[in-house]
Amino acid sequence: MLKYKMAFSRYSKAVAVVSLSLLILWLANYMFEASFGEWSLSVAVGVTMLLMWPLMFYFLRKNTIAGFLFKINSKRGLKLMNCLGQKYSRFWIFIGNFALVLLAGGLGAWFVCSHLTKKYRRILLSSLAFFTVYVYGSQTVLTFIPFQIFFRFSPFALLFAAVVSLTIFKFLPVGHKRDSYLAFLLGFLFFAAPFLMVAATGEALSLAAAFIIGVVGIPGYFIFGFFSTGLNFALGLTDISAVYPSLPAVENGMPVLKAPGISGFTLPIIPDLLLAIVVLLVVHEGFHGLLARAQNIKLKFTGIFTASVLPLGAFVEPDEEQYKKESEINQARVSVVGSFSNICILALISFLLMSLIFSIGLVYPDGVEAEALPENASAAGFMEPGDILLAVDGHPINSLSDFQDAMKETLPNQTVSVITDKGMFTTELGSHPEHPERGFLGVVVVQDRTISYFSVDLITTHLSGGVWLFIFNLLKWMFMLNLLVGVLNLLPIPLLDGFSVYDCIFRSMQRGSMFAKKHGLRERFMNALLFFIFYTLALSIFPYFLPPEERGLMMFLGITLFFLVAFIASSSKSRLFSKKKRV
């Protein structure tokens, strides 16, 4: 009876906190709406967090982190994870090894190969050889951001890959270190394939991308993407940053997340974001727990982290003392499998379902949507923002490229027919400001940048499909969030799973080399990776707060010099402390 009373008490507190938070949020949004417009929700969220903090502290004062963060413990799901993890332990350990090879590039392939027996090393090497040879032989391309597969069937490449794979499996002399180095090379070549193919045409930047992605795997997409975009942004060569802050806002009466001043990045909070986050966290943390139990690591709690009343994430807490005593490969499997569940299960399933819905015509292109119309635009007399442009002078319009192609065939002062979702109109075209020889309708097209992760071709396309469009958009957010969170979580940054994964890899590497131990290569590699990631982020973040005219070479050199000095100082300090310890 006492157990049920305690459970009822916990639920009562939870209901009280949620109800009071929603009430304060609604009142604050109502009060600040006149002053802050669409951004009143951001202010209301901040006010709610501040006002609810004393109550959260009163209920959770024993589980407070840094005064403002709270840890809500539970034991829900532990029995299920224990049952499935222990019963199918071999399967989950295979998934952990597969995730390391698939996500961590050449380093992951080396790491897994160095911990396998002779038989399984042969299987791994022959499999890597098969896929690597086929990718290069058939010119098949696989990229993760955007997620695209350009598969080309080649009987010759298939036969050659099978021969190479069989030769390695049957005749390659077994040697522990040699096998690990070969696994690294094959993993590197597989991940770097799309960029090495482009680099072969003479593009030097693709060679740098091939090196980063080939060595570290999937996180390399973000590292290189941040660097290349941030470099152009800091130099003032583009107005597009790799990082945009997204804040709560109200759009058409509904709560959304959007980036200030940026169109095409609007994420509905209800139900899209909430449902996507719940599924993401449950599956991500569930896979951590399953791998832990498959390797007999005890689990203490499941739960969530909050900043005041705002949920920040979920967790599965293992027995820390036991976890620290586990081998590097066991720890790395537990850490990497969460991102694997996001990228290779949830994101992939969402992608395939979106592709199916689109390919069979349940969701279909239906013109382009007008975002803005200048006062002197020819279309201003009969179109408004939000109207759908379907055809111009007999040319169907399903994307910005269709619109541009149709307008290239027109002349200034030409009378054309225009079909929109409101009917058919005729108008006299103006003169294009940049190409005076062409006609000008003056429609600025809406761009949905979020769909670029699924298909670059649909960025400017207005889609229709009724209830199927709702399902398609829900899957789009599920796909995008799982892909981004899965990749970001693999970055070697403290508090993220990627830090544990790559720290385990470098620890294993250093343990097998006296040279690496003597010179502290693990610490140097991890510091170098960490500083480079923060450097690439700084290139996108610092110039964001400056006007475009102040960005340029001096801004880039200033950021570069600051991080270079910080890295040298950090490395010198680390060496000084290591010398003191040895003395």
Residue 470 scores a pLDDT above 50: yes
Average pLDDT over residues 24-51: 88
**Same domain, yes or no, for 112 and 258?**
no
Pair (378, 394) in one structural domain: yes
Residues 447 and 400 in one domain: yes
pLDDT tens, residue by residue, 530-572: 888 888 888 877 777 777 777 777 777 888 888 888 777 776 6
Considering the domain architecture, whether residues 247 and 346 belong to the same structural domain is answered as yes
Contact criterion met (CB below 8 Å) for 303 and 74: yes
374 with 424, same domain: the answer is yes
For the stretch 169-198, pLDDT in tens is 888 776 667 888 899 999 999 988 888 888
Contacts of 508 (CB under 8 A, 6+ apart): 111, 114, 115, 328, 329
Domains in the chain, number: 4
Residue 44 lies in a domain: yes
- Token pair listed for 371: 């975002």
Q: Is residue 349 part of a domain?
A: yes
Are both 349 and 485 inside the same structural domain? yes
453 and 369 in a single domain? The answer is yes
Residue type, 442: G
**What angle is formed at CA 228 by the lines to CA 461 and CA 354, rounded to 5 degrees?**
30
Same domain flag for 191 and 133: yes
One domain for residues 352 and 484: yes
Let me know whether 349 and 286 are in one domain. Answer: yes
Select from 430, 461, 492 the last residue of a domain: 461
Q: Which amino acid is at 113?
A: C
Which of 461, 494, 523 is a domain's end point?
A: 461
pLDDT of residue 242: 67
Residue 272 maps to a domain: yes
pLDDT digits 0-9 by tens, 280-327: 999 999 999 999 999 999 999 999 888 888 888 888 989 888 988 899
Q: Are residues 382 and 347 part of one domain?
A: no
CATH number of the domain bearing residue 387: 2.30.42.10
The domain containing residue 430 runs over which residues?
365-461
Residue 6 in this model has a pLDDT that exceeds 80: no
Strands 368-372 and 444-445: antiparallel
Query: How many whole angstroms separate alpha carbon 69 and alpha carbon 313?
Result: 11
Q: What CA–CA distances, in Å, run from 338 to 103, 276, 350?
A: 11, 15, 17
Q: Tell me which residue of 523, 537, 441 sits closest to 491, measured CA to CA.
A: 537
Give how far Cα 583 sits from Cα of 98, 116, 519, 572, 577, Å.
Answer: 43, 38, 15, 17, 10
Most confident of 126-130, 253-257, 262-266: 126-130
Contact predicate 89/349, CB 8 Å: no
Q: Answer yes or no: is 72 within a domain.
A: no
- The secondary element (H helix, E strand) that includes residue 369 is strand 368-372
Residue 70 lies in a domain: no
Rounded to the nearest integer, the mean pLDDT of the chain is 84
Q: Is residue 167 one of the residues assigned to a domain?
A: yes
Cα separation values, 529 from 269, 506, 536, 574, Å:
34, 12, 11, 15
- Distance set, CA 266 to CA 250, 251, 259 (Å): 10, 9, 7
Nearest to 166 by CA among 116, 130, 112, 118: 130
Q: What is the 3-state secondary structure (H, E, C) of 437-494?
A: CCEECCCEECCCHHHHHCCHHHCCCCEECCHHHHHHHHHHHHHHHHHHHHHHCCCCCC
Spatial contact of 198 and 215, defined as CB atoms under 8 Å apart: no
Q: Which pLDDT score is estimated for 570?
A: 72
Q: Which of 141-155, 354-368, 478-492 has the lowest mean pLDDT?
A: 141-155
405 falls within a domain: yes
Residue 466 domain flag: no
Is the same domain home to 190 and 57?
no
